[in-house]
C-alpha cells in the first residue's frame, strides 16, 4: 500500500454512459498525475495537477475527458459518453515536488471496461 487510493477499483459500463473515478493522494503531496494503461503497454500520461491547478493535458485526453482537483487534495477523472476504446486501467500517482526527488507513488488503479 503506497498510501494513494483509487475508487472504484473496477468499473464496467455500457457505451455512452458517463463514469467518474476518484483518486486520494498522499496527504502532503502537492502533485497528482493521471495515467492510462492499456494491455501490454506502459502507462501513458493524461494530465497532472500542482495543488488545484491543472498544469497540462495530453492530446490523448479528448473533450470527453475532464479532471479536477478542486481543493488541492483528492482528484476526479470523468469520462463522458464512454467508448469501447476507453477500456483501460486508469492510474493515479502523487508526489511531493522537490528538486531531484520527485518520486511518484502510484495508486492501485481503476480498471474500466466499456461494453
Partner 1 sequence: KNEVEQSPQNLTAQEGEFITINCSYSVGISALHWLQQHPGGGIVSLFMLSSGKKKHGRLIATINIQEKHSSLHITASHPRDSAVYICAVPSSYNTDKLIFGTGTRLQVFP
Residue ranges binding partner 1 (CB under 8 A):
2, 31, 33, 37, 40-45, 48, 55-56, 89, 91, 93, 97, 100-109, 111
Report the Cα–Cα distance between both ends of the chain, in Å, rounded. 30
CB of 113 to partner 1, least distance (A): 13
CB of 14 to partner 1, least distance (A): 23
Identity of the residue, 80 or 108, whose beta carbon is nearer to partner 1 in the bound complex: 108
CB of 43 to partner 1, least distance (A): 5
Residue 82 CA to residue 96 CA, distance in Å, equals 32
Identity of the residue, 82 or 109, whose beta carbon is nearer to partner 1 in the bound complex: 109
Amino acid at each position: 500500500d503506497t498510501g494513494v487510493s483509487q475508487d472504484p477499483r473496477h468499473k464496467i459500463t455500457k457505451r455512452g454512459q458517463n463514469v467518474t473515478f476518484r483518486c486520494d493522494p498522499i496527504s502532503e503531496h502537492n502533485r497528482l498525475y493521471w495515467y492510462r494503461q492499456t494491455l501490454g503497454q506502459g502507462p501513458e500520461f493524461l494530465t497532472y495537477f500542482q495543488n488545484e491547478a491543472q498544469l497540462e493535458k495530453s492530446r490523448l485526453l479528448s473533450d470527453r475527458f475532464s479532471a479536477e482537483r478542486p481543493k488541492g487534495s483528492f482528484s476526479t477523472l470523468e469520462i463522458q459518453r464512454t467508448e469501447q476504446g476507453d477500456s483501460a486501467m486508469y492510474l493515479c500517482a502523487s508526489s511531493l515536488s522537490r528538486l531531484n526527488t520527485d518520486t511518484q507513488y502510484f495508486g492501485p488503479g481503476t480498471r474500466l471496461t466499456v461494453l
